[in-house]
Amino acid sequence: MANPVERWVEEQARLTKPDKVHWVQGTREELELLVEEGIRQEKTGPHHTFRALASSPYPDAFLHRSHPNDVARTEQLTFVCLPKKEDAGPNNNWMDPAEAKGLIGGLFDGCMKGRTLYVIPYMMGHPQSPYAKPCIQITDSIYVVVSMCIMTRVGQEAIRRIGAQENFVRGLHSIGELDPAKRFIMHFPQEHLVMSIGSGYGGNALLGKKCFSLRIASYLGEQEGWLAEHMIIMGLEEPGGEITYLLGAFPSACGKTNLAMIEPVFPGYKVHTLGDDIAWINVGPDGRLWAINPESGFFGVAPGTSDKTNPNMMRTLKGDKFFPTLFTNTALDPATNSPWWEGLGEPPQGLLDWQGGPWQAGKPAAHPNSRFTVSIYNCPNLSKEYDNPKGVPISGIIFGGRRSNTIPLVCEATDWEHGVFRASTNGSETTTAAGGPLGVVRRDPMAMLPFAGYNMGDYFAHWLAVGQRLTQPPKIFTVNWFRKDADGGFAWPGFRDNSRVLKWIVDRIKGRVGARSTPIGLLPELQDLEMKGLSLPPGRLESLFSLERGEWEKELAEVEEFYGKFGGRIPQALRGQMEKLKAGVARL
Ligand code: SAT
Ligand code: MN
């Protein structure tokens, strides 16, 4: 009798009716054959799968051009299908599970005719990790197969780990017709199932990423007592060699990946990167939080990535290990056969834009959301602990956003509950990349608004419950690199100078420096910030920490409105924190 995986694959093949079924092994030889097949499709098929970038500065690299309407995640077409709408919460689009299956099942019917169905067995997390999860994804896109081989641990181990279990994590994906009117990303958290059709884009199609590792995993985490978070993981090494592990959550366009790989400005300090997007966090037997990165690659935004903003990522892209590197929707310099994007300096002559036509000055050459997909093992400062099945012990959690005012450069929460409150109010101003109006604060608690797979009020309660089990809770901080001065320019230089703030955070964790108590939390004594080598105009540093009553009243009103959407699901403790803050703001 066939095992559960074979049975499920057979069922999906009956539904989607592919010409062939290919079980992906994850070997180097197979990867090369798949890439070759993709290159043949580039010449013949409609989907521009791969073009080899041989002789470019990036070894073993390939350019993928997507359908022009398929360049980003589509939150409006993403659904969480739990039986009760309230359990999905106002933070998710909701559809009744049976209705969703009827709708999307119809779209999957026969969608793989003339195509190959690829079965990808993969692990999220190190196979030896108690926190890892074995999963199966089906897809009809070679681009997705190769991307999954880079971003996750593909191989037979996943099938062995699933064994006779029936409720393994399943993802069914087809690019369908790449028609936005027939595009849906449906999550069925109770069945550990994701069904996605009509898009080949990362977060819509690499189902191990946002779909499983955040939306489904956050739901599992609530049931099983752990956290699946949209966070970087890094270790900050000090001159004595001691390493402090930190997590950081930021909405998009806040420099999250750059921070994960930052080169500190001080001699003797070093950052060891463990992840730039997702952390799975468990309470260890020692009462501390332990984090793993379930992924094994970076899927990062290309524009703005350069030797200045992120030298470690540039080295990663130029590194050559086991896996190929993909560039998606970047521009192309045909003279050197190299990918190009804004931020790399002067555009070369004869540049082709992201759709392959001659670039016209004044228009983006690379798509603003163009991406690279690269193995984490290429990263020169990858932490030695990256493959440790236990993960790393966490001493601090940083929450950030892009705010031109109100929020100080750095602030420490007084305890776990206060930190959860501050994180639940996290907001970030919209940038051009996201589309829509500019500079509006969008509330994005824990940077998880689009990724919590259940009601966010319940999610806050879960954070509080996890805190109750910690005997050594990490300290929680908020940061804001984006405060503006009176002239409208950025008041803080950002980039590598953000390591000055990381140093203060570690000094606080180690109890080496004091802090000043304010109504919003603990602020640094200015003399404790290491400012050697950075000269700011007089009064600037003070202004980065100023608390304006009017701004905070506005902040409170916006947070109240946001909380209002969740009604009675907001935990009482957070309402209490809100009242305390209100009283404090009145005293400012
Ligand atoms: O595709 S991802 O969701 O991983 C990246 C993004 O669009 O946020
Ligand atoms: Mn992300």
Rounded distance between C-alpha atoms, residue 59 and residue 53, angstroms: 8
Question: Which DSSP string corresponds to 494-524?
Answer: -GGGHHHHHHHHHHHHTT-S-EEEETTEEEE
**Domain residue spans in the chain?**
4-46+71-224, 229-296+387-586, 297-378
CA of 294 to the centre of ligand 2 (A): 13
Which residues make Cβ contacts (< 8 Å) with residue 204, sequence separation at least 6? 73, 74, 78, 183, 185, 196
pLDDT in tens, 38-58: 999 887 766 678 999 999 999
First to last CA, the chain: 71
Local confidence band at 431 (pLDDT 50, 70, 90 cut-offs) = confident
pLDDT surpassing 60 at residue 71: yes
pLDDT in tens, 375-411: 999 999 999 999 999 999 999 999 999 999 999 999 9
β-bridge pairing 169-174 and 193-197 = parallel
pLDDT in tens, 523-580: 999 999 999 999 999 999 999 999 999 999 999 999 999 999 999 999 999 999 999 9
pLDDT surpassing 80 at residue 433: no
CA of 102 to the centre of ligand 2 (A): 30
User: Is it true that 4-46+71-224 and 229-296+387-586 share their CATH fold?
Assistant: no
Which residues are identified as catalytic?
254
Domain 297-378: give its CATH superfamily: Phosphoenolpyruvate Carboxykinase, domain 2 (2.170.8.10)
Kindly give the number of the ligand 1 atom that is closest to the alpha carbon of 301: 5
Whole-number average pLDDT of the chain? 96
Local confidence band at 453 (pLDDT 50, 70, 90 cut-offs) = very high
Give the mean model confidence (pLDDT) for residues 425-437. Answer: 79
CA of 541 to the centre of ligand 2 (A): 30
Other CB atoms within 10 A of residue 224 CB: 9
Q: Which of 179, 208, 195 is nearest to 105 (CA)?
A: 195
Domain 4-46+71-224 in CATH 3.40.449.10? The answer is yes
Rounded distance between C-alpha atoms, residue 273 and residue 503, angstroms: 16
The pLDDT, as a whole number, for residue 76 is 95
Domain 229-296+387-586 in CATH 3.30.1360.200? The answer is no
Q: Give the ligand at the shortest distance from the Cα of 248.
A: 2
Establish whether residue 300 lines the binding site of ligand 1, counting it when its CB lies within 6 angstroms of any ligand atom. no
* Predicted TM-score of the model (pTM): 0.98
Give me the residue label for tokens 């050697």. Answer: 532
Q: Give the ligand at the shortest distance from the Cα of 328.
A: 1
Distances in whole angstroms, Cα of residue 78 to Cα of each of 100, 151, 198, 368, 440: 11, 21, 12, 22, 23
Neighbours of ion ligand 2 (CB under 5 A): 277
CB of 576 within 8 A of CB of 441? no
CB of 204 within 8 A of CB of 225? no
The pLDDT, as a whole number, for residue 533 is 96
